[in-house]
Amino acid sequence: MNYQSSLSFAIEQDRNDPLKDFRKRFLIPQHKGEEVIYLCGNSLGLQPVSAQQHIADQLNNWESLAVEGWFQGNDPWLNYHKQLSASVSKIVGALENEVTVMNSLTVNLHLLMVSFYKPNSKRFKIIMEGGAFPSDQYAMESQVRFHGFDPKEAIVEIFPREGELTLRTEDIILKINEHANELALVMFAGINYYTGQFFDLEPITLAGHEAGAYVGFDLAHTAGNVPLKLHDWGADFACWCSYKYMNSGPGGISGIFVHEKHFENKELDRFAGWWGYREDKRFLMAPGFDAAQGADGWQVSTSPILLMALFKASMAIFDKAGGIDALRAKSIALTGYMEFLINDINQQQGEELFKIITPANPQERGCQLSVVCKKNAKAIFKYLADNGVIGDWREPDVIRLSPVPLYNTFTDVYKAVQYLATAV
């Protein structure tokens, strides 16, 4: 696309946008009587207009049916989670029975580590990207200590080369091969939360498996953002939150992926609960855990219906929009336009006031651009907020801006960057 630094260009792109009507399906916060320019979907997605009705429907079922709501009515709760499997499986590139929705992200990560982190005296190391989201770091540290190992020896972090900001795939593979004989697990984010780099997950998976390790992914910033092919890539497991790009509400329901190749593996440990028991015999209350088929067998606790109702409201919008593949083209265009406008500011000022640390290659990033403000960073971020531009601050000098294709527009992007220019 040949971008132009003008409001008329942005308006014209919005007019021709095949997804333009989906913005109306979300509630946009107000600032001084006008809609904010919301570029923080990487942290919390906006509320679907339909969310309140979805919640109301289930409250009404609770009111009118009480406990019978698990089995009766138009939307019985017993298999409510299964209504989400088709939509979610398309978003992460999985078979329907390879995914389920449950719990929250880090809880799910710990539950999956029970199955897929099986260290011994020879193989005990975990490889992950340096600067991973702190929750992942804490989870890995605690898992390693739980098994009696020292995190300093067991956790291998991979950092960019000196003078570079993002990781090279060949360096990741080289590190995997270097530790192959001691490696138990490769555990990477799909997209690094700080830089916005989308890692090349297929060759990472292949390298991990060739080294004899399991491979899993935290897709918190990835699911609902970029197309994925977890099944085809052969990843062993993955988990994600859904309150960012999938708009399920603050602290919304999480989800997991377990590849079908593990379904019949009786050697895999898991922390079991009643909700993960096989459905046809669940109510016999028999001793001895007999897992449900597929990813559902990793469930532990009863489905939180109200959280799932919020998620269902958003999934209906994804389905209507044509799924993640339909959103990707607009995402690339919006982020590319923001990149073009920020670079235009630098050119006009004759110096690099704003440095984009997210990869320039659209295939190596999602919606997010992480921007280093080289002068007066905190003041610039405050100026944006004071003028109704909602982004995300990361110490010491990074503003994360994420134009989400379901509800952001080219006009949003144009106006936001104009506020950056004015702040300079």
- Looking up residue 150, the CATH number of its domain turns out to be 3.40.640.10
The residue ranges of the chain whose pLDDT is under 50 are none
- Spatial CA neighbour of 192 closest among 363, 405, 390, 358: 358
Q: How many domains does one find in the chain?
A: 2
Q: Is 223 within 8 Å of 87 (Cβ atoms)?
A: no
Structural domain includes residue 72: yes
Identify whether residues 89 and 184 lie together within a single domain. Answer: yes
Quote the pLDDT of residue 424: 87
Identify whether residues 29 and 144 lie together within a single domain. Answer: no
Q: H or E segment at 172? A: helix 169-178
| Domain end call among 320, 352, 377 | 320
Q: Is 129 within 8 Å of 192 (Cβ atoms)?
A: yes
Structural domain includes residue 41: no
CA distance 269 to 254: 21
Tens digits of residue pLDDT in 257-280: 999 999 999 889 999 999 999 999
Quote the pLDDT of residue 231: 98
CA distance 220 to 211: 26
Edge-to-edge strands of the sheet including 125-129? 99-101, 255-258, 237-240, 214-218, 183-189, 125-129, 155-158
Domain that holds residue 180: 55-320
Identify whether residues 227 and 304 lie together within a single domain. Answer: yes
Identify whether residues 239 and 371 lie together within a single domain. Answer: no
Identify whether residues 128 and 226 lie together within a single domain. Answer: yes
Identify whether residues 390 and 350 lie together within a single domain. Answer: yes
Identify whether residues 141 and 288 lie together within a single domain. Answer: yes
HEC string for 46-80: CEECCHHHHHHHHHHHHHHHHHHHHCCCCCCHHHH
**Residue 21's domain is classified under what CATH number?**
3.90.1150.10
Identify whether residues 338 and 204 lie together within a single domain. Answer: no
| Domain end call among 320, 353, 373 | 320
Q: Is 73 within 8 Å of 81 (Cβ atoms)?
A: no
Identify whether residues 238 and 93 lie together within a single domain. Answer: yes
